[in-house]
Chain A
């Protein structure tokens, strides 16, 4: 079992402020790996550091054994990593269709129609809203679009930063269902950042806990779910 992604003692900074402290994680092929942590722990920073923005000041980011630490973001994207980033960041003045085309920018256009059909089975809502400007979609629809846009590039590794943020429980279920389905059926490798630790840990084969920019715990999703300190810190009130 090889690693799609490996972070080796990565440290990231915003100016003088250190946001990641020697973080090492592994994302094995065909697995869902989740990263949980409180607000400001550095989860989104880690996701962006994979894309070199901010660039890791020390340590290495390895993708299929290749050091990609110094590459510009667009080249990393072209290697097959896609991200649905924090805050969704759909292009507000483009239609749903154009947002999806943007996602497909790095792949052969001949695959576009087939990929679009897959997306529509996953998120039928996007088919209904195909011509609508993304800025006028509801929050949940924008989230679906952000994930769909990432999928349109047929990534080998999908990074999802809080896909459940601000969504209704039913929509969350739908999105988590979609992630599981993609992973089972296509073997898609996923790195998932979540506040919603309960569901994320149930979904993931492997999990990491980030506190103040440092990894404090790791294990399988089930192992972490069972730990009392995890239950106390991240699952309070969950069932």
Chain B
């Protein structure tokens, strides 16, 4: 019982990070119908901006202020990356054959990884834990269930970010424009929506969310390298597919589920096969629900 609770806490924390990244995949897929394989690397860059800022600020400011600066700097810089990636690698290929942007995305991913490897070094980088300690939730025969302050912070920050993001998408003119372009880009243009600008903003927002995830990943694990974007990216992409690609709540749900599967599999079976477990479950879900858990399958009148 205590052990399961601990896995639940760990899984949810990890899942929230996956969910934040997954939103970027699903938004871009929704609006231009492509998988942005470089998105995981934007997350990685977010983590690097975080470590650079936090290292530079060590001792200069209080921890909360330092974290705030790290989050904001990371979101802005990743936003610029997201914007540029779309401009350089995807927009010129719009209207080209379907695989072209995908190949371009993989190329972009490799470029970003190599760029960070060269500029930041190939070795792991670490920071000390900035929010140490936690609270003991339960002590069952010597097994202690811990909720670290860091986990709590990740959960709270993610929920706040998701709330803001949900408001943006459902209630603001920009969010409405994004959904309109997703549903019928040509019609949106006939109504005065600058679709190119809307697509750019989608990339910027998705990248900013990945930046938040990157900084939280850094804070949670304390160690990063230029390759973290690959693994986390694939997990988050899987989360987006599991939840139903194109669905924003689906991305978050998928992220949480994958975090939980990983945590419980590692806790009860073996760490070695945790990825196999994740993909097996994905395969099983897709067999029965081809459009994912919350994906669209209703028929619409046209």
Name the one of A103, A106, A142 contacting B301, with C-beta atoms under 8 angstroms. Answer: A142
Residues 179-196 of B at the A interface (beta carbon under 8 Å): 179-180, 183-184, 186-195
Q: Bound complex: CA of A149 vs CA of B187, how far in Å?
A: 11
* Binary CB contact string for chain A from 95 to 114 against chain B (1 if under 8 A, 0 otherwise): 00010011101100000000
A149 and B176 within 8 A (CB): no
Shortest CB–CB separation between residue B151 and chain A, in angstroms? 35
B184 and A89 within 8 A (CB): yes
List of B residues within 8 angstroms of A89 by Cβ: 184, 186-187
Q: Is B173 an interface residue (CB 8 A)?
A: yes
Q: Is A68 an interface residue (CB 8 A)?
A: no
Q: Is B124 an interface residue (CB 8 A)?
A: no
Q: Is A28 an interface residue (CB 8 A)?
A: no
What's the A-B contact tally at a CB cutoff of 8 Å? 72
Q: Is A124 an interface residue (CB 8 A)?
A: no
Q: Is A123 an interface residue (CB 8 A)?
A: no
Q: Which of A9-17, A73-81, A200-208 participates in binding chain B?
A: A73-81
Q: Which of B176, B189, B190 has the most CB of A within 10 A?
A: B190
Q: Bound complex: CA of A74 vs CA of B185, how far in Å?
A: 11
Q: Is A94 an interface residue (CB 8 A)?
A: yes
List of B residues within 8 angstroms of A137 by Cβ: 301
Please judge, given known A-B contacts A101-B176, A142-B301, whether A77 and B192 are in contact too, CB under 8 Å: yes
Q: Is B85 an interface residue (CB 8 A)?
A: no
User: What's the tally of chain A residues with a CB closer than 8 Å to chain B?
Assistant: 29
In the complex formed, the residue of A with least CB distance to B198 is: A74
* Binary CB contact string for chain A from 37 to 80 against chain B (1 if under 8 A, 0 otherwise): 00000000000000101000000000000000000111001100
In the complex formed, the residue of B with least CB distance to A146 is: B187
A85 and B191 within 8 A (CB): no
Name the one of A77, A87, A102, A106 contacting B180, with C-beta atoms under 8 angstroms. Answer: A102
B193 and A105 within 8 A (CB): yes
B: contact size bracket: 20 to 34
B302 and A153 within 8 A (CB): no
List of A residues within 8 angstroms of B176 by Cβ: 94, 98, 101-102, 105
Please judge, given known A-B contacts A53-B186, A85-B190, A92-B301, whether A74 and B177 are in contact too, CB under 8 Å: no
* Binary CB contact string for chain A from 122 to 161 against chain B (1 if under 8 A, 0 otherwise): 0000000000000111010010000001000100000000
A105 and B183 within 8 A (CB): no
List of B residues within 8 angstroms of A142 by Cβ: 301
List of A residues within 8 angstroms of B177 by Cβ: 102, 105
A73 and B180 within 8 A (CB): no
B184 and A106 within 8 A (CB): no
In the complex formed, the residue of A with least CB distance to B170 is: A98
Of the A-B pairs whose beta carbons lie under 8 Å apart in the complex, a sample of 11, sorted by A's number, is A53-B186, A73-B189, A74-B189, A77-B192, A82-B191, A91-B180, A92-B300, A93-B183, A105-B173, A137-B301, A139-B301
Name A residues whose Cβ lies closer than 8 Å to a Cβ of B: 51, 53, 72-74, 77-78, 82-83, 85, 87, 89, 91-94, 98, 101-103, 105-106, 135-137, 139, 142, 149, 153
Name B residues whose Cβ lies closer than 8 Å to a Cβ of A: 173, 176-177, 179-180, 183-184, 186-195, 300-302
Which 3 A-B pairs give the minimum distances between C-beta atoms? A106-B192, A77-B192, A73-B189
